[in-house]
Amino acid sequence: MTMQVENMTRRLIRVFAPEQATVLAETIHDAYADLVKTSDFNELKEIVRNLAQAQTRTESRMNELAEAQTRTESRMEELAEAQTRTELRVEELAQEQRTFAKEQRTFAQELQTLAQAQRELTDAQKDTDTRLGKLIDVVTNLAQEVGGLSRSASYALENEAYRQLPAYLEANHGIVL
Protein backbone atom coordinates (compact mmCIF):
# COMPACT_ATOMS: atom_id res chain seq x y z
CA MET A 1 0.00 0.00 0.00
CA THR A 2 1.41 3.41 -0.92
CA MET A 3 1.91 6.20 1.57
CA GLN A 4 -0.96 8.15 -0.02
CA VAL A 5 -3.34 5.20 0.29
CA GLU A 6 -2.29 4.66 3.90
CA ASN A 7 -2.86 8.34 4.75
CA MET A 8 -6.24 8.31 3.04
CA THR A 9 -7.18 5.07 4.82
CA ARG A 10 -6.31 6.57 8.21
CA ARG A 11 -8.57 9.54 7.48
CA LEU A 12 -11.43 7.38 6.22
CA ILE A 13 -11.28 4.99 9.19
CA ARG A 14 -12.74 7.82 11.25
CA VAL A 15 -16.09 7.37 9.49
CA PHE A 16 -15.90 3.92 7.83
CA ALA A 17 -15.06 0.41 8.93
CA PRO A 18 -11.35 -0.41 8.36
CA GLU A 19 -12.07 -2.74 5.41
CA GLN A 20 -14.35 -0.16 3.81
CA ALA A 21 -11.86 2.63 4.42
CA THR A 22 -9.09 0.59 2.78
CA VAL A 23 -11.20 -0.30 -0.28
CA LEU A 24 -12.41 3.28 -0.65
CA ALA A 25 -8.87 4.71 -0.31
CA GLU A 26 -7.52 2.26 -2.92
CA THR A 27 -10.40 3.01 -5.28
CA ILE A 28 -9.86 6.77 -4.99
CA HIS A 29 -6.09 6.34 -5.45
CA ASP A 30 -6.60 4.16 -8.56
CA ALA A 31 -9.06 6.66 -10.03
CA TYR A 32 -6.67 9.57 -9.54
CA ALA A 33 -3.77 7.55 -10.93
CA ASP A 34 -5.72 7.19 -14.21
CA LEU A 35 -6.39 10.94 -14.55
CA VAL A 36 -4.44 13.02 -17.03
CA LYS A 37 -1.72 14.80 -15.05
CA THR A 38 -1.49 18.59 -15.20
CA SER A 39 2.17 18.29 -16.17
CA ASP A 40 1.27 16.07 -19.15
CA PHE A 41 -1.40 18.52 -20.24
CA ASN A 42 0.96 21.49 -19.81
CA GLU A 43 3.61 19.65 -21.82
CA LEU A 44 1.10 19.12 -24.62
CA LYS A 45 0.15 22.80 -24.49
CA GLU A 46 3.84 23.69 -24.78
CA ILE A 47 4.20 21.39 -27.79
CA VAL A 48 1.14 22.98 -29.42
CA ARG A 49 2.54 26.45 -28.67
CA ASN A 50 5.89 25.46 -30.24
CA LEU A 51 4.11 24.09 -33.31
CA ALA A 52 2.09 27.31 -33.60
CA GLN A 53 5.34 29.28 -33.50
CA ALA A 54 6.83 26.96 -36.11
CA GLN A 55 3.70 27.50 -38.23
CA THR A 56 4.14 31.26 -37.91
CA ARG A 57 7.77 30.98 -38.95
CA THR A 58 6.79 28.72 -41.85
CA GLU A 59 4.15 31.20 -43.00
CA SER A 60 6.69 34.00 -42.78
CA ARG A 61 9.13 31.89 -44.78
CA MET A 62 6.38 31.15 -47.31
CA ASN A 63 5.74 34.88 -47.69
CA GLU A 64 9.45 35.44 -48.15
CA LEU A 65 9.57 32.66 -50.73
CA ALA A 66 6.53 34.09 -52.51
CA GLU A 67 8.26 37.45 -52.67
CA ALA A 68 11.43 35.75 -53.91
CA GLN A 69 9.38 34.00 -56.58
CA THR A 70 7.96 37.36 -57.72
CA ARG A 71 11.45 38.86 -57.91
CA THR A 72 12.68 35.80 -59.79
CA GLU A 73 9.96 36.14 -62.42
CA SER A 74 10.83 39.81 -62.85
CA ARG A 75 14.49 38.96 -63.29
CA MET A 76 13.69 36.22 -65.79
CA GLU A 77 12.13 38.87 -68.06
CA GLU A 78 15.15 41.15 -67.62
CA LEU A 79 17.63 38.31 -68.21
CA ALA A 80 15.96 36.85 -71.31
CA GLU A 81 19.05 37.87 -73.30
CA ALA A 82 21.36 35.79 -71.08
CA GLN A 83 19.69 32.40 -71.62
CA THR A 84 22.51 30.37 -70.09
CA ARG A 85 22.46 32.22 -66.81
CA THR A 86 18.68 32.16 -66.75
CA GLU A 87 18.59 28.37 -67.21
CA LEU A 88 21.04 27.95 -64.37
CA ARG A 89 18.99 30.21 -62.11
CA VAL A 90 15.74 28.44 -63.04
CA GLU A 91 17.32 25.11 -62.11
CA GLU A 92 18.38 26.53 -58.73
CA LEU A 93 14.88 27.84 -58.12
CA ALA A 94 13.38 24.49 -59.08
CA GLN A 95 15.57 22.77 -56.51
CA GLU A 96 14.53 25.28 -53.83
CA GLN A 97 10.93 24.73 -54.77
CA ARG A 98 11.31 20.95 -54.48
CA THR A 99 12.96 21.38 -51.09
CA PHE A 100 10.17 23.68 -49.99
CA ALA A 101 7.52 21.22 -51.22
CA LYS A 102 9.25 18.42 -49.32
CA GLU A 103 9.32 20.56 -46.17
CA GLN A 104 5.67 21.43 -46.74
CA ARG A 105 4.74 17.73 -46.93
CA THR A 106 6.72 17.01 -43.76
CA PHE A 107 4.97 19.86 -41.99
CA ALA A 108 1.56 18.60 -43.16
CA GLN A 109 2.37 15.13 -41.83
CA GLU A 110 3.47 16.57 -38.47
CA LEU A 111 0.29 18.63 -38.32
CA GLN A 112 -1.78 15.50 -38.96
CA THR A 113 0.10 13.68 -36.20
CA LEU A 114 -0.57 16.55 -33.80
CA ALA A 115 -4.25 16.61 -34.74
CA GLN A 116 -4.49 12.86 -34.10
CA ALA A 117 -2.75 13.25 -30.74
CA GLN A 118 -5.15 16.04 -29.85
CA ARG A 119 -8.14 13.85 -30.77
CA GLU A 120 -6.76 11.02 -28.67
CA LEU A 121 -6.22 13.38 -25.75
CA THR A 122 -9.79 14.64 -26.09
CA ASP A 123 -11.09 11.06 -26.11
CA ALA A 124 -8.96 10.18 -23.08
CA GLN A 125 -10.26 13.26 -21.23
CA LYS A 126 -13.86 12.27 -22.02
CA ASP A 127 -13.16 8.75 -20.76
CA THR A 128 -11.59 10.16 -17.60
CA ASP A 129 -14.57 12.45 -17.02
CA THR A 130 -16.95 9.51 -17.45
CA ARG A 131 -14.97 7.31 -15.08
CA LEU A 132 -14.72 10.10 -12.51
CA GLY A 133 -18.49 10.60 -12.69
CA LYS A 134 -19.02 6.89 -12.09
CA LEU A 135 -16.60 6.98 -9.15
CA ILE A 136 -18.46 9.93 -7.65
CA ASP A 137 -21.71 7.99 -7.97
CA VAL A 138 -20.15 4.94 -6.30
CA VAL A 139 -18.75 7.03 -3.42
CA THR A 140 -22.10 8.82 -2.99
CA ASN A 141 -23.97 5.51 -2.90
CA LEU A 142 -21.43 4.06 -0.50
CA ALA A 143 -21.80 7.05 1.83
CA GLN A 144 -25.59 6.66 1.76
CA GLU A 145 -25.36 2.94 2.49
CA VAL A 146 -22.95 3.52 5.36
CA GLY A 147 -25.28 6.21 6.76
CA GLY A 148 -28.22 3.81 6.58
CA LEU A 149 -26.19 1.07 8.24
CA SER A 150 -25.18 3.46 11.02
CA ARG A 151 -28.81 4.43 11.65
CA SER A 152 -29.88 0.78 11.67
CA ALA A 153 -27.19 -0.12 14.19
CA SER A 154 -28.16 2.85 16.37
CA TYR A 155 -31.83 1.84 16.37
CA ALA A 156 -30.96 -1.78 17.16
CA LEU A 157 -28.71 -0.71 20.04
CA GLU A 158 -31.41 1.62 21.39
CA ASN A 159 -34.06 -1.11 21.17
CA GLU A 160 -31.80 -3.59 22.95
CA ALA A 161 -31.09 -1.04 25.70
CA TYR A 162 -34.82 -0.44 26.25
CA ARG A 163 -35.39 -4.16 26.44
CA GLN A 164 -32.53 -4.86 28.86
CA LEU A 165 -32.78 -1.71 31.03
CA PRO A 166 -35.65 -2.81 33.37
CA ALA A 167 -33.93 -6.09 34.28
CA TYR A 168 -30.59 -4.33 34.77
CA LEU A 169 -32.06 -1.60 37.00
CA GLU A 170 -33.92 -4.17 39.11
CA ALA A 171 -30.90 -6.51 39.43
CA ASN A 172 -28.26 -3.86 40.13
CA HIS A 173 -30.16 -0.98 41.74
CA GLY A 174 -33.37 -2.50 43.05
CA ILE A 175 -35.51 -0.24 40.85
CA VAL A 176 -38.62 -1.85 39.45
CA LEU A 177 -40.19 -0.31 36.37
Local confidence band at 83 (pLDDT 50, 70, 90 cut-offs):
confident
Local confidence band at 76 (pLDDT 50, 70, 90 cut-offs):
confident
Residue 108 backbone dihedrals phi, psi, to 5 degrees: -65, -40
CB 175 within 8 A of CB 169: yes
Residue 82 backbone dihedrals phi, psi, to 5 degrees: -100, 75
pLDDT of residue 40 exceeding 80: no
CB 42 within 8 A of CB 101: no
pLDDT of residue 71: 92
Local confidence band at 86 (pLDDT 50, 70, 90 cut-offs):
confident
pLDDT of residue 1: 66
Global pTM reads: 0.33
How far is residue 9's CA from residue 3's CA, in Å, rounded to a whole number? 10
- Tens of pLDDT, residue by residue over 118-172, are 999 999 999 999 999 999 999 999 999 999 989 999 999 999 988 999 999 899 9
pLDDT of residue 117 exceeding 90: yes
Residue % of the chain over a pLDDT of 90: 67
Local confidence band at 75 (pLDDT 50, 70, 90 cut-offs):
confident
pLDDT of residue 32: 82
Local confidence band at 79 (pLDDT 50, 70, 90 cut-offs):
low
Mean pLDDT within 29-37: 79
